[in-house]
Structure 1
Amino acid sequence: MSFDLGTIIAQLVIFLILMALVAWKAVGPVVAIMDKRKKYINNQISEAEKSREDSQKFLEEQKTELDKVRRESHDLIEQAKSRANAEAKAIVEAAKNRSDLMIKDANEEITLEKEKAIAAIRDEVADLSVLLASKVLEKEINPKDYAQEINQLIEQVGNQR
């Protein structure tokens, strides 16, 4: 088996040109898409955090309102103990149920948004994998000459999932 320097250099140049084309046509757009997706996800997370903070503020307002209701119920107890006790229990229970429901709804919304973001990321990765595979398959490949590159590509696609 002899090695011809001209053939090796030609193959190296062709390989470098091919890698430059792949970097130009595939890597740049993929990185741009991933950056856009990252910004979208960060925005969704920020909105979810803002929603949680708003829910927390509303909960604090409800607690303040609940304290006010308790003070009013105490005044009513002084005026008419039997009637005020029944009314105070009803008001406290309604406020507690209302705040519990609001907390539950906020947590469900946060969980749902998180699940949507994760599902969207998974879909995006799958689409990008299919796009990369289609780009690779458009070129004619001799399995004997490019066995190592094919194995690396398969390994990379497997690691992304």
Structure 2
Amino acid sequence: MNHFAPNVLMASGLAIGDIFVQLLAFALLLLLLKKFALKPLIKVMKDRETFVANEIDSAETSRKEAESFLKQQQETLEAARKEAQAILENAKKMGEDRQSDILKAAQDEAERLREAAIRDIQNEREQALVSVREQVASLSVLIASKVIEKELNAADQEKLIEDYIKEAGDQR
């Protein structure tokens, strides 16, 4: 065991020097990494974190704007539906009013025509009565003149009256 003991000491002495150099190299590597790699890496990570946070905020803002726009569009659509319904109801009412006006005008015109026809019929009736009266008067005068011209017996008078009635019927 003696034989290995000096080697172990030496090896451990060498190992301590090597360890010290390796520790010094490792510390120097850490300092260099910290200065040249870690700070830029942390900066990139912070920039990335800021970028992601901004994108999240932007997405949230966009979502809120989209919801607001959607709500506004729904309100606009509802207002348009109500306006369209009002227009339809107004048009329907105007159509019904127009229909009522047309019916009233037609009824008034029919009543006017009926009254005009009644007046025309009454005028025609009065003219017919006047004409009949004139014919009766002329026949009466004619009969009276014939009776005066000759004295008739009952049979002749009967025949004369029938002849004049026939003559009056033919003149009409």
Structure with the higher helix share, 1 or 2: 2
TM range (shorter): 0.3 to 0.5
What is the TM-score normalised by the length of structure 1? 0.45
Question: Relative contact order (alpha carbons < 8 A, sep ≥ 6): 1 or 2 greater?
Answer: 1
Q: Which has the larger radius of gyration?
A: 2
